[in-house]
Chains A and B, each alone.
Chain A
């Protein structure tokens, strides 16, 4: 069963058809890319998939469940899909460690009294969560900065922290919205390795939006191309590179991958 199945999804804002009849599939442990010129509707599609927007028509199935009437937090908890954001939305006034720990709390419920009295169960559970959070941070080389405030991190680290935070929710599919934005070549190459490692170690499906073609061609197994809200091409990176429709859509932005 595909971990994500988007079927003929459309959304309309007043007169603007932001997404028209888009379908895509992500199988377990697949690395899939979503590209397209600015304004093509990629982030809008993400928002529909994760329950932030409600589609005008079409269906989204995540891990077998329809996201139709689910709120974003239900999508994360029930369908096990987590995301990062195009404009970084970290918890700025919380520490790096806290950012990750908060995400683990969606799965734990504490008795209120145990917080007040700091019972053994509470203390032990929190210690466990903290250890797991630190392990995740170590993977991304952020563990040394665990106690720094998220807003004080350099930009590249903030982007990485967003990914760690999403991973802490134990997802089966990860949605990354422009994770390499603002990174230089070296950082981007490192990120590529990291994302692949995440897929290999955690065995989750990953759907990525990015503009950096080298990154996408190197990372993704399959790519979907969106333009003006419509799907204009799909296939392997090689097929996409040679597709005339794709080249036309990117006219003026040609990048030899």
Chain B
């Protein structure tokens, strides 16, 4: 089927690139690139909700936490008790498939939680929705903080080292492909209709709550995927990572990139993740933590000067086309 070509090609391409980079780059640079990939997944998926459907979700990393902890808990605490799991994990090919299973399972649980959270919240108007999603993000974090089995405040260590650049880049690319297809599909048009005018959408026979919950579920799935990848990359989880600060950084990325542009989210996520790392080097040089201050200033300046973001609502090929015409 034609529809399978692009996803399969993407997986193959990104896996090869990932393997190549693993040979070429040192561990520090690999980690930075890994975080870029994870943030891309988070940003692109959040853009579906905040950018294309026009809903104010501020608790995105809460769903990332769900995916991360589900996979970590299973692979560190529960499943190693079964010898069949351990022997399968040791086998190269089967081990990879099990990891894929963990990713999909983590994403699905996050999506389920997303639906649970979305159904009551998405009925609410803009500002209210923002606060409630923020609240849910915090509730999830506090809940995790109090579950001793996953380490509580000390964190969870010893998460198996799975994945790495090929997986992360592969999933980042897949997220982009899938979200792009969704956005261009009938569902994507429904998202944008809800964003443009909810009342009119309702009058055209579409259930806006249904549409909003679907966008929320999809975004939460990918957030969960990002979580699983994150957990097995850092091999250590601490609830303190999944705070509103992180959600805010993702929001900043999609606003910077442009709320209606997937390309923008990819570019902005990469830019901001890289620059935060770069600023960390600066901090070591100067001895003062100016990172967050510079980050905040940059954000405010962007808001004041170019609020549509870098790409507005266009993708990169729209810009190439208009340049070609001119």
Give yes or no for direct A-B contact (beta carbon below 8 Å).
yes
**Distance to closest chain A CB from B149 (angstroms):** 33
Name, among B182, B185, B202, B205, the residue most crowded by chain A CB atoms within 10 Å (CB to CB). B205
The chain A residue sitting closest to B6, CB to CB, is A118
Q: Is the CB of A91 within 8 A of B206?
A: no
Taking A94-B193, A94-B196 as contacts, is the C-beta distance between A102 and B202 under 8 angstroms? no
CB closest residue in chain A, given B2: A118
Task: Assess whether B264 is interfacial by the CB under 8 Å rule.
Answer: no
Contacts of B200 in A (CB 8 A): 85, 89-91
Q: Are B260 and A93 in contact (CB-based, < 8 A)?
A: yes
**Contact between B178 and A116, CB atoms less than 8 A apart:** yes
Q: Would you call B186 and A93 a contact (CB within 8 A)?
A: no
Are A73 and B205 neighbours in the complex by a CB distance under 8 Å? yes
A92, B196: Cβ atoms closer than 8 Å: yes
- Whether A52 sits at the interface, judged by CB under 8 Å, is yes
Main secondary structure of the interface of B (DSSP, over half): helix
Q: Within 8 Å CB of A73, what residues of B? A: 201-208
At the interface, yes or no: A55 with Cβ under 8 Å from chain B? no
Query: Would you call B4 an interface residue if the criterion is a C-beta within 8 Å of the partner chain's C-beta atoms?
Result: yes
Q: Are A91 and B197 in contact (CB under 8 A)?
A: yes
What's the nearest-Cβ distance from chain B to residue A52, in Å?
7
A106 at the interface (CB under 8 A from B): yes
Binary CB contact string for chain B from 176 to 202 against chain A (1 if under 8 A, 0 otherwise) = 001001100111011011011101111
A residues within 8 A CB of B3? Answer: 116-119
Does B1 make an interface contact (CB < 8 A)?
yes
10 nearest A-B residue pairs (beta carbon):
A106-B205, A118-B3, A76-B205, A89-B200, A103-B204, A72-B202, A91-B196, A117-B3, A77-B205, A73-B202
Sampled A-B contacts (26; CB under 8 Å): A72-B202, A72-B203, A73-B208, A76-B202, A76-B203, A76-B205, A89-B197, A90-B197, A92-B197, A93-B192, A94-B189, A94-B196, A98-B192, A101-B186, A101-B189, A102-B193, A102-B204, A106-B206, A108-B186, A116-B182, A118-B1, A119-B1, A126-B185, A126-B186, A166-B204, A169-B205
Which residues of B are at the interface with A, using a C-beta cutoff of 8 A?
A: 1-4, 7, 178, 181-182, 185-187, 189-190, 192-193, 195-197, 199-208, 214, 260, 313
